[in-house]
Each structure stands twice: as C-alpha cells, then as structure tokens.
Amino acid sequence: MANDNSSTAPSKAERKLNPIDSAVVVIVLLAAAGFGLAKAGHAGVDKVVQGVDKVAIDVSLTGVKTKDVDMFKVGEPCSITIRNQPVTPAMKILAVSHTPKQVSFLSPDGKKVLAFPDPANPIATDYLITVGDEAERTADGFVIRGNKIKIGNQIELEGFKYRVQGVVADIKPIQ
C-alpha cells in the first residue's frame, strides 16, 4: 500500500491568513480599543455641553498695512476662519480700537523706554477687534459651531475690503 497524502485536510503550508482576513481582524481590534477608550473617558466624543453663552472674542491684529484705518465698523458682519475652517454665518463686530504701529526706543538717560510710531511702516496699524456670537460651553472651553476656540488660536477675519490674520487675545461670555 502506497502512502497516499491526497486527503482533503489542508496542509500547514495551505493554512495562511489572507490579507482580507487580517484586515478585518485589525479593524475589529481597533474598534474595540476605541470603544474601550471612549468608555474610560479618554476620547473627545464624551465632551458634555454645559450650556450656550453669547461670547465676545477679542482678536489682535498687528501691523496691518492700510491707509483706511476705519475699515472695521461696529455692527457690520465679519466672516471668520478658525484653523482653515470657515465659520458661517458671519459674526458681528462689537468693538474696534486701533493705534499706529509702535516701536520702542531707550530714552537718552537709559532709564525708561519710549514708544514712537514706526517710521519704517507709516501706514502700519495695530487693531483690537471684538466679534460676538453664540458658543457652546464645555468643561474645557468654548466651542463655536464645532470649532474649539481658545486664546492664542490663529484666526482670519474677512470682510468686503479686507482679509487679515490675527490671534485670539481673549474670549469671554457676555450678557
């Protein structure tokens, strides 16, 4: 009798895991890990909205080169972009203040610092623009239409005559 190895059971060489099966196993493991992290409170999906507040966002714009220092007008709409994400609809400008771009020099006696308008940029102006809108309040800050906003965020303001970049200087609830 000859040794017949033509049985129907697969040999060890034929029991390989194909790429589709291994991909399914990896996806199931990642989904289980994500579910476990969310249950443990280590995921961003568990942020609880504590309420909706009207907020005032102060945006600092430094060195804007313009001849029209009154281009920002209180009450006008102003589109903003946070982290390359447009926030719609436009917000209203609540307050505007501007000063000529200043440079600092030491006084002749060397005991104090004096500020003068920048002679190298006579049309450069610093602005502090306050825009207002409603924001959701969470335990770790304010969220405006899905965008978390905090002091230091880069923000872009856009109107009919301008498109400028600035930094959030303050965010506070208003009545």
pLDDT digits (tens, 9 = 90+) for 131-174: 998 998 888 889 888 888 999 999 999 998 999 999 999 999 99
**Model pLDDT, residue 44:** 59
Q: Cα–Cα distance between 92 and 131 in angstroms, integer? A: 6
**Single pTM value for the model:** 0.69
115-131 CB burial, b ≥16 within 10 A, e <16:
eeebeeeeebbbbbbbb
Q: Identify the pLDDT of residue 96.
A: 96
pLDDT value at residue 34: 85
Query: Residue 7 has what pLDDT?
Result: 55
Residue 157: the pLDDT is 94
Q: How far apart are the first and last CA of the chain?
A: 97
Q: Which residues of the chain have pLDDT under 50?
A: none
pLDDT at position 131: 95
In this prediction, residue 21 carries a pLDDT of 87
